[in-house]
Structure 1
Amino acid sequence: MPASSTTSNHQPTVIITETLSDGPADWLAERANVVWCPHTEKERLAKLLPQADGLVVRTYTQVNQELLDQAPNLKVVGRAGVGLDNFDLPACEKANVKVVYTPDANSQAVVEYVIALILDTLRPRTDLPPACSEAIFHQLRKTEIGKQLDQLTLGIVGLGRVGKRLANVAHAIGMKILVSEIIPETDLRRACDLPFNYVPHDTLYAEADIVSIHVDGRPENKHMLSTHALSQLKPNTLLINAARGFLHKNETLLTFAQNNPEAHIILDVHDPEPPSLDYILANQPNIRLLPHIASRTDQALENMSWVVRDILAVLENKSPNFPAF
C-alpha cells in the first residue's frame, strides 16, 4: 500500500479501509491526503474518522449510522465495487453523505467466472498422469464424457448488468435461455436484444438444467432460494450463486443437496462471510465452495478502484458519474 501523503490544508483527507489497485490509489494520493486504515483496526479508524472528508471501502466495511456518527465532516463514501449491501443508504442520505460506486466494473469478470464454473462441472477434464499407460489413456477417454451446452437450458434469475452479459454468452454458445425478473418483460426486451423466454420463478427452476442467480441485495431477496424454490429444481440441476450469500439458508440448501445427490451446487458467496470453521455446507460431495472470487481479475479490480474519480468529483463539488442516489 502507498504511504500516506503529507497532510495539506488545501487537500481533503480520504481514508481507505480496504484494498485498492496501485494506479487509482496513487492518482488519488496526488490529489488528496490519503490515509490507509484497515476496517479491522476499529480503534484507530474511530480516531481517524473525524478528519475524513471521504472514505473508500469495498465489501467488509459497514457504512452505517455508527460509522457516520464518528465522521461529522464526511462528504462522500466510495464503494470500490458493485453491490451496496454494506451501506445504510437512508442513513447516508439523511447525513448528506454522497455514496458513489462502480456498477459495471466487474460484470465481464463475473460472467467469465460463471461460464468457467459451468464448464468445470459439465465438461470434466483430467490431465494425463506421468508415464500414462495405454489402458489409463483409453479409460479416461471412456469416463471423461461431458454434456454439450447447446443441448441445455440456462435459467438466469436477474437480468441486470451481469445477467444480460451472461445471456449473450449463453446465446452465442447455443443455449436456451429462461429469465425471471421483477422488471416487466416489455422493458427487458427493449434492453436485451436476444431471444429468451420470460417465465415465472417456479417455471425457470423446474425447466432449467443450470440456474445462475444474479439478483441485487434488496431485503425481499433474502432466502429467495427457499425450500419451495429448491423443490422445483431438477434433481440433477447445476445451481450457481455468485451473487449474495443471504439468498439461501444454509440448512435448507444442505437438505436439498443431501436429498438430491445428482445435483451440483456451487457457492462463491456465503452467509456469514467468511464462513465459520464449522460451516455445515463444507465437506458435502455435491457442494463446491469458493472464496468470493468471481470479480477477482486484475482488470475488474482496477475498474472498481477507479471509484476514486467520483470521490474526488464530489469533494470538488462536481457531479459524480455513478451516484447511488
Structure 2
Amino acid sequence: MKILADQNMPLVEQYFADFGEVERFDGRKLTAEQLIDVDVLLTRSVTQVNNELLAQANKLCFVGTATIGVDHIDTQLLNEKNIAFSSAPGCNAIAVAEYVISSLFALSQENARPLSGQTIGIVGVGNIGSCLAQKLKALNVTVLLCDPVKHEQGLLHEHVPLDELLAKSDVVTFHVPLIKSGKHKTLHMMNKARLKSLKPGLTLINASRGDVIDNQALLEVMESGADLDLVLDVWEKEPNILTELLEHVRYASVHIAGHTLEGKARGTQILYQKLCELNNVEATKSLDEFLPVPAITQATLTQSYSEADIARLVHLIYDVRRDDGILLRSLAKEGFDTLRKNYPVRREFSTLVLKGKSQQLEALEQLGFTITN
C-alpha cells in the first residue's frame, strides 16, 4: 500500500508504516501526477481535493483529512468514485479552546481588566465551541451561544441570534465552518455593516476560517477609528494575507490555533483508526506511545491562588503573544506557510499536573489541567 501524507502531519510513519510505504508532500503543491498508484491520501486544510487533483488517481481507496473542517474536500466526488473518506472531528478542539483562553488572559493582563464578570459570545457550537464553553465555566464569566443550525435541530435551546450576541458580549469568538451559500452562510458573516455596528471595546476572535470575516472591510473599519481588540489566527486568501491589517490586530498568528502536539497527533490517530476499520485490522497504536514528556510537568498551588495566578499557569503552558511575535518578526522574511510548517512545539494544559488541597482546583481541572492530591 502506498500512502501519501502532508508534510505537516505528525507521527504518520509511526502510525501507518505497518500498512505500507509513506511518502510526504507539500500541501499546497500536490499535483494529480503524484497520486498515480497511491492507495491512501492524508491531507490537511491547505490541499484542495477535487476533480482536478484526482484526475489520475487510479488506485486511491481512502482519503483522510487530519482536520475538523472539510470545505477543502469534494466529498460528493469521493462518494461517486467509491473512495472512503474520514475527517478528524474534535481532534484539535482542546487546542483551539486553549488558544482562545490564552488570548483572553493576555488581553485581561494588558488591558488591566479582570476576565471575571465578562460576557463571552461563542459563534458556532460544534466540537470546538462546545469545548470552549465547557472550559469557560471555570472562569466566572457569562457565556452566550449562537448556532442557528443546532437551534433549528432542537439541540441548542439557549441559542442567541448573532446580532443580539454581538450587542451583549464583551468578547465574541468564531468557531464556525465555512459555508459559502444558503440560509446559514458563514462566508463574510462579519461584513462591513456588522463590523461598523460593533460597540467600542469589543474583542473579536477568529480561529475558524478567514473568510468568515471580510478582511478588507475590517481593515477599512479599523482605519476609520473603530475601537476593537482583534485576535486573528485565520485570514482570507492564506497564505497571501492582507498584511496592512496586521498593525490593527492585537494578537496575530498563522492559522495555528489547533496546532498543539496533541491536537495534530490526534488527527493522525483518528485517520489511522479509520484505515484500520476499513481493513478489518485491530488498531493497537495509541498517542501515549509517541508523545514526549514535556519540560515542565508539575506545579503546587496553595488555597490563596487568584485569577492572576490562573493566567500565569495558562501562560506557563502557552502564551499566544509568542506566536504574535513570531508572525510580526518573521512573516516578511519567511512567509506564512514556512512559519506554519516550522511552528514551535506547543503542548496542552493537561500536560501540567497541579497539586494542592483547595476545592477550587476543580475549576482548574475543568479548564483542562490535570489534578492530583
- What secondary structure is seen at the aligned counterpart in 1 of 2:129? helix
1:152 Cα deviation (Å)? 1.0
Letter in 2 for 1:243: S
CA distance in 2, matches of 1:158, 1:239: 14
1:146 Cα deviation (Å)? 1.4
- What secondary structure is seen at the aligned counterpart in 2 of 1:74? coil
After superposition, the C-alpha distances for 1:52-91 in whole angstroms (9 at most, x for unaligned) are: 1110111211101111212022111010121112111222
Match of 1:37 in 2: 25
Letter in 2 for 1:167: A
Letter in 2 for 1:155: G
Match of 1:299 in 2: 262
Structure 2 residue corresponding to 1:188, chosen from 129, 134, 156? 156
Structure 2 residue corresponding to 1:167, chosen from 114, 119, 133? 133
CA distance in 1, matches of 2:133, 2:280: 39
Closer, same or farther: CA 175–81 of 1 in aligned 2, 3 Å: same
Matched, 1:231 2:196: yes
Structure 2 residue corresponding to 1:212, chosen from 173, 198, 213? 173
Letter in 2 for 1:279: T
Closer, same or farther: CA 274–112 of 1 in aligned 2, 3 Å: same
1:258 Cα deviation (Å)? 2.7
Matched, 1:81 2:71: no
How do 1:59-138 and structure 2 match up within 5 A?
59-124=45-110
Letter in 2 for 1:209: D
Matched-pair contact (CA < 8 Å) for 1:149–1:175: yes
Letter in 2 for 1:205: L
1:106 Cα deviation (Å)? 0.8
Matched, 1:279 2:243: yes
Letter in 2 for 1:252: A
TM-score w.r.t. length of structure 1:
0.78
1:41 Cα deviation (Å)? 4.8
CA distance in 2, matches of 1:248, 1:115: 21
Of structures 1 and 2, the one scoring higher in RCO (CA 8 A, sep 6+) is: 1
- What secondary structure is seen at the aligned counterpart in 2 of 1:149? coil
CA distance in 1, matches of 2:89, 2:176: 13
Closer, same or farther: CA 41–173 of 1 in aligned 2, 3 Å: closer
Matched-pair contact (CA < 8 Å) for 2:123–2:147: yes
In the alignment, structure 1 segments of 5+ residues that lack a partner are 1-11, 125-144, 190-196, 321-325
Closer, same or farther: CA 40–292 of 1 in aligned 2, 3 Å: closer
- What secondary structure is seen at the aligned counterpart in 1 of 2:205? strand
- What secondary structure is seen at the aligned counterpart in 2 of 1:271? coil
* RMSD (Å) for aligned C-alpha atoms: 2.3
After superposition, the C-alpha distances for 1:86-140 in whole angstroms (9 at most, x for unaligned) are: 111222222221211210111111111101111111212xxxxxxxxxxxxxxxx
Closer, same or farther: CA 231–74 of 1 in aligned 2, 3 Å: same
- What secondary structure is seen at the aligned counterpart in 2 of 1:164? helix
Match of 2:340 in 1: none
TM-score w.r.t. length of structure 2:
0.69
CA distance in 1, matches of 2:103, 2:74: 32
- What secondary structure is seen at the aligned counterpart in 2 of 1:103? coil
Tell me how many residue pairs correspond in the alignment. Answer: 277
Closer, same or farther: CA 305–207 of 1 in aligned 2, 3 Å: same
Match of 1:46 in 2: 32
Closer, same or farther: CA 71–314 of 1 in aligned 2, 3 Å: farther
Matched-pair contact (CA < 8 Å) for 2:15–2:269: no
Letter in 2 for 1:184: H
Match of 1:289 in 2: 252
Matched-pair contact (CA < 8 Å) for 1:251–1:280: no
Closer, same or farther: CA 41–218 of 1 in aligned 2, 3 Å: closer
Matched-pair contact (CA < 8 Å) for 1:81–1:101: yes
Matched-pair contact (CA < 8 Å) for 1:157–1:214: yes
Closer, same or farther: CA 270–41 of 1 in aligned 2, 3 Å: closer
Letter in 2 for 1:33: E
Matched, 1:200 2:161: yes
Matched-pair contact (CA < 8 Å) for 2:44–2:65: yes
**Identity across the alignment (%):** 30
1:261 Cα deviation (Å)? 4.2
After superposition, the C-alpha distances for 1:180-205 in whole angstroms (9 at most, x for unaligned) are: 1112274225xxxxxxx532111101
Match of 1:134 in 2: none
1:37 Cα deviation (Å)? 2.9
1:275 Cα deviation (Å)? 2.7
CA distance in 1, matches of 2:66, 2:159: 32
1:319 Cα deviation (Å)? 12
Closer, same or farther: CA 208–240 of 1 in aligned 2, 3 Å: same
Matched-pair contact (CA < 8 Å) for 2:87–2:271: no
Closer, same or farther: CA 271–41 of 1 in aligned 2, 3 Å: closer
